[in-house]
A and B are shown apart, each in its own frame.
Chain A
Amino acid sequence: MTVGLFVTCLVDMFRPSVGFAAVKLLEDAGCRVVVPDVQTCCGQPAYNSGDRADARAVARQVIAAFEGFDHVVAPSGSCGGMIAHHFPALFDDDAAMQARAEALAGKTHELVSFLVDVLGVRHVDARLDATVTYHDSCSGLRELGVKAQPRALLSGIAGLKLAEMANPEVCCGFGGTFCVKYPDISNAMLADKTRDIAATGADTLLAGDLGCLMNMAGKLQRLGSSVRVRHIAEVLAGMSDLAAIGEPETAPAGPAAAR
């Protein structure tokens, strides 16, 4: 089975290790992974700003680049949700494009739910000696039903203890451009979230979307918290020895560190 990896613009730019973790998890589960080099972004910045024309232009590019694969996988519920949920709606005046968008939507998945629901992965071999709390990023949760899958895989990680926070399903205040358009509201939401995280006593925070993770990591660190923040894919791929998000690196990131 050939999987096209949609890397996402944030992973590409800020945390390539998430992309390499996704590749490792998919290959370990028996997939052939291809990373098309014409990909950039899923189009959400335009789509969520009301700029339909540009969102469509980006969507066309994604559709053309990815429609040939058996499946398309993104290490993000937000970008996965954009393709799987919103692309068809962008072409409601163009039947041919809409059909292509729907075909792509039907085979596009968020990484962890793809591993569990489609590939039937029940266990990954990894270790993390930590008490972990998990935040349910909004799009993955509500558009793609990502909730039980990450917890199922985390429960099999050696040394890992899960401590659920209050309200794991409440938004962290990121919201893409929202967090800089309405920084004060975003901060108020984020303050609630970091309070709930701290209350668990967990030393590690995980989630499946880099945007939310950068938002929460940035706040935790500004508050002087010692909670380490990681993308779940890194933990599942056994890459927990990497510097956490926003922490100084000791060894270079990327595949050298991963393997």
Chain B
Amino acid sequence: MQSTAHAFKDNVDRALVDDNLQQSLAILKVGFSERRRQAVERLPEFEALRDRARDIKNHALAHLDLYLEAFEAKVTALGGQVHWAPTADDACRVVLDICREAGARTVAKSKSMIAEEIALNAHLEAHGIEPVETDLGEYIIQLRREPPSHIIAPAVHLTKDQVADTFHEHHRKLGFDRRLTERPDLVAEARAVLRRRFQEADVGITGANFLVAETGSSMLVTNEGNADLSNTLPRVHIVIASIEKVIPTLEDAATLLRVLARSATGQEWSSYTTFNTGPRRPGDLDGPEQYHVVLLDNGRSSVLGGDMQDMLRCIRCGACMNHCPVYGAIGGHAYGWVYPGPIGSVLTPQLIGVAEAGSLPNASTFCGRCESVCPVRIPLPKLMRHWREREFEHHLTPAAVRQGLALWAFLATRPRLYRWATGLANRLLALFGRADGRYAWLPLAGAWTRYRDFPAPQAGGTFHAQWKTRRGAGR
């Protein structure tokens, strides 16, 4: 996917005046967080489970090589095949090769963020293979040729009316000529269209929430059951997953599942939890003839062992974006690439470069709400600050900001000079008049006064000046 992260400010401008988007965000902002709150309230051990979840992922990351090899050995023993893909291009090539070998014309896909990351659909289309998204949200945005705006709710930026229009436009040619308005009808129509597509598919591609080293299973949760059709009906099943998805045991998967759905949607469990463990065995009633797992690195291994490793704990629940007031204001597309919200602001600079995506970690108030809900306790603000430090080190911070900081630091480390400067500023502000108690406009403060008044300083000078006359200098 072509990034527009460098044009973040333009993206934001568009998002803030997009009425449909703002209407959708207003619902999202309260809905997700309220459901999570209730789910957490019902589970007294939730905070302790978050610690467990963090520890499991930390342990897996500390021994990632070991668990990946164990996973590969298991998959191979089951008759499946593991493919190592260092880059996005490698992953696309592997998937295309498998599809070609299977003579595939249509591929049924169940929602996968890794597929978005490697831009798999575009690659398959360019080579004459039609990918069909089977997750309802993904299906909608595929019809509209839009990227997802949320990692678990890809079409959350759209209103029901927009979906109705999209279906009406695309389903007419399939014989559905009525424009539907009710949600259940829209879902039923999508289901009818998609059923046919499942049956045509030669290959099914799914993502994975976890890869279990102990059993060689890939594990997936959905609320629609579409993954189960994607991996049982077609002859060939391809799982694409990034390397940090591997965890040691089924027991660990169970623990992580307990925090995953609660954090994501406030459900105790997602409707469907599926373990795929190798291809169809003799005597099995269904299942694919071939089972492939494509393991994507795409720069992740370079994060291991460093001060940014914590980002690899992410289990992609979406809670950080559901609770982020910045995401709530601008939606997911403004972030300009695959992963939006706080985790996107941390991950995107790693995956496509801080020069391209440097705005993202800056667009945060560090309010910390993301960290306070993250089921694996990723210190997201701290990681965003790390990126700001990298930018500063590499002189990517805008010159005006650097100069302002240099001046500020010069004064802040010279208290006497600082007193003089604040006293002067105090008197200068007084020149603009404080009779109203506030200013509707101030020089150099346009970014503030465009939207708000600026409170005038109280009369009588700075605190320190007053304190000095009242109590004498500090001891």
Tell whether B42 is near chain A: CB-to-CB under 8 Å.
no
- Give which listed residue, B453, B470, B474, contacts A218 with CB less than 8 A: B453
Main secondary structure, interface of B, reads helix
Q: How far is the CB of A157 from chain B (nearest CB, A)?
A: 22
**How does the 8 Å CB contact mask read for A168-184 relative to B, with 1 for contact and 0 for none?**
01110111111111111
| A245, B391: Cβ atoms closer than 8 Å | no
Complex: A182 Cα to B436 Cα, angstroms: 27
Complex: A32 Cα to B474 Cα, angstroms: 12
| B401, A49: Cβ atoms closer than 8 Å | yes
Which residues of the partner chain A approach B452 to less than 8 Å between Cβ atoms? 187, 190, 215, 218-219, 221-222
Given A37-B464, A39-B415; A169-B369 close (CB under 8 Å): yes
- Give which listed residue, B382, B435, B448, contacts A183 with CB less than 8 A: B448
Which residues of the partner chain A approach B460 to less than 8 Å between Cβ atoms? 16, 252-254
Tell whether B146 is near chain A: CB-to-CB under 8 Å.
no
Tell whether A104 is near chain B: CB-to-CB under 8 Å.
no
Q: How far is the CB of A196 from chain B (nearest CB, A)?
A: 11
Which residues of the partner chain B approach A184 to less than 8 Å between Cβ atoms? 12-13, 16
Tell whether B48 is near chain A: CB-to-CB under 8 Å.
no
Given A139-B368, A143-B368; A46-B405 close (CB under 8 Å): yes
Given A38-B415, A49-B388, A50-B390; A16-B426 close (CB under 8 Å): no
| B448, A249: Cβ atoms closer than 8 Å | no
Q: How far is the CB of B378 from chain A (nearest CB, A)?
A: 14
Complex: A37 Cα to B363 Cα, angstroms: 34
| B438, A221: Cβ atoms closer than 8 Å | yes
| A12, B455: Cβ atoms closer than 8 Å | no
Which residues of the partner chain B approach A187 to less than 8 Å between Cβ atoms? 450-452
Tell whether A48 is near chain B: CB-to-CB under 8 Å.
yes
Complex: A39 Cα to B448 Cα, angstroms: 26
Which residues of the partner chain B approach A243 to less than 8 Å between Cβ atoms? 437, 458
- Give which listed residue, A51, A143, A181, A221, contacts B453 with CB less than 8 A: A221
Complex: A120 Cα to B438 Cα, angstroms: 37
- Give which listed residue, B392, B405, B413, B437, contacts A247 with CB less than 8 A: B437
| B447, A183: Cβ atoms closer than 8 Å | yes
Q: CB within 8 Å of A: which of B448-466?
A: 448, 450-464, 466
| A142, B369: Cβ atoms closer than 8 Å | yes
Given A183-B451, A185-B326; A41-B397 close (CB under 8 Å): no
- Give which listed residue, A139, A179, A189, A190, contacts B326 with CB less than 8 A: A189
| A7, B329: Cβ atoms closer than 8 Å | no
B394 to A, closest residue via Cβ: A50
Q: How far is the CB of A259 from chain B (nearest CB, A)?
A: 11
Tell whether A246 is near chain B: CB-to-CB under 8 Å.
yes
Given A16-B466, A171-B369; A182-B325 close (CB under 8 Å): no
Which residues of the partner chain A approach B367 to less than 8 Å between Cβ atoms? 138, 142, 170-171, 175
A177 to B, closest residue via Cβ: B401
Q: CB within 8 Å of A: which of B423-456?
A: 425-426, 434-438, 440, 445, 447-448, 450-456
Complex: A220 Cα to B435 Cα, angstroms: 18
Listed in ascending order, the chain B residues whose CB lies under 8 Å from chain A are: 9, 12-13, 16, 29, 325-326, 328-330, 362-369, 371-372, 382, 385, 387-393, 397, 401-402, 405-406, 408-409, 411-413, 415, 418-419, 422, 425-426, 434-438, 440, 445, 447-448, 450-464, 466-468, 470-471, 473-475
Please, could you name 5 A-B residue pairs with CB atoms under 8 Å apart, sorted by A? A14-B457, A46-B405, A175-B365, A217-B455, A222-B452
